[in-house]
Amino acid sequence: MAFPLDTLGETLAEETLVEETLVSGIRDFMKKSGFTKLHLGLSGGIDSALTAYLAVQAAGAENVTAINMPSRFSPKSSIDDASELAVNIGCSYITIPIDECYASFLSALESIFGNRPFDTTEENLQSRIRGTMLMAFSNKFNSMLLNASNKSEIAMGYFTLYGDTIGALGPIGDIFKIDVFALCRRINDRSIKAGGKAIIPQSIIDKPPSAELRPDQKDEDYLPPYDVLDPILRLHLDENYSREKIINEGWDAELVDRILKTVAWAEFKRRQLPPILKVKQAQ
């Protein structure tokens, strides 16, 4: 899946400035908060891959731990992608399977849920188990947890409260999904031009985005395609365009209404997120 570079700008200087802003922001927040170590959940997806790369640039590979927490719905390919990324950036890598915990929760809730069908309840349980594991690591090893939510997900409320919302800081929370892809491609291009290899595994860049909380799940089951969603979000959030002005740009009125309604609805969820690094001023 290939996305064009959007709000980050088309020049190498602009892209580099955004990356440097994110790295320095993580480093500064660590210093002010009194942490010397970082950790994050590494799923094998592109958001956590970029966040892990930025963490290593900010704190050094020796001070970063990536934790993969596979469930019964985690494809082996994603587990392999997470492991390969950790090797490429040189950080510590831990695997903590969550299926035993997940099964215990399901068993405990069985008498309450009865025969009700699988839905977002069972999806969110997995995310919240992972959040508990990550916070336990933070407490035990005095390590600062990074959140890997991007701006598109945050705007649309496409995240689990008390699950993948946890963390002390969200480094990519002001970066749209299409720009996450763009940054990862640029990081790889720069490494290859310098005589190295691709840092972000190409399989991470190529696969359709997914939360992997049910079989064959894709982000587009819930959201418009990112190459449609993100330009509308950019006009609404960054350019402060009204509904009418966005539609006058050529976007479908029904789609615009759906997106703006969802953004407004998700405000209560955004209120409970960790602080994010703002990069719009750096563009």
**Residue 6 falls inside a structural domain:** no
Instruction: Give the count of domains, the chain.
Output: 1
- Classify residue 123: in a domain, yes or no: yes
Mean pLDDT, range 250-257, rounded to an integer: 98
Q: What is the CATH number of the domain that holds 277?
A: 3.40.50.620
Calpha distance 153→7 (Å, rounded): 16
Give CA 55 to chain center in angstroms. 13
Higher pLDDT, 279 or 86: 86
Contact 23, 54 (CB under 8 A): yes
Per-residue pLDDT tens for 192-240?
999 999 999 999 999 999 999 999 899 999 999 999 999 999 999 999 9
pLDDT(4) > 50:
no
Q: What is the mean pLDDT of the chain?
A: 93
Residue span of the structural domain in which 206 resides: 12-218+265-282
Q: Is residue 235 part of a domain?
A: no
Arithmetic mean of pLDDT, 35-42: 98
Q: What percent of the chain has pLDDT over 90?
A: 90
pLDDT of residue 188 exceeding 50: yes
Give the C-alpha separation, 56 to 53, whole Å.
5
Domain-embedded: residue 245: no
User: Is residue 253 domain-resident?
Assistant: no
**pLDDT recorded at residue 1:** 32
In a domain, 232, yes or no: no
User: Which of 12-21, 128-137, 155-164, 165-174 comes out lowest in average pLDDT?
Assistant: 12-21
Tell me, yes or no, whether 83 lies in a domain: yes
Return the closest-CA partner of residue 45 out of 162, 186, 236, 217: 217
Q: What is the pLDDT of residues 64-120, one digit of tens each?
A: 999 999 999 999 999 999 999 999 999 999 999 999 999 999 999 999 999 999 999
Whether 5 maps to a domain, the answer reads no
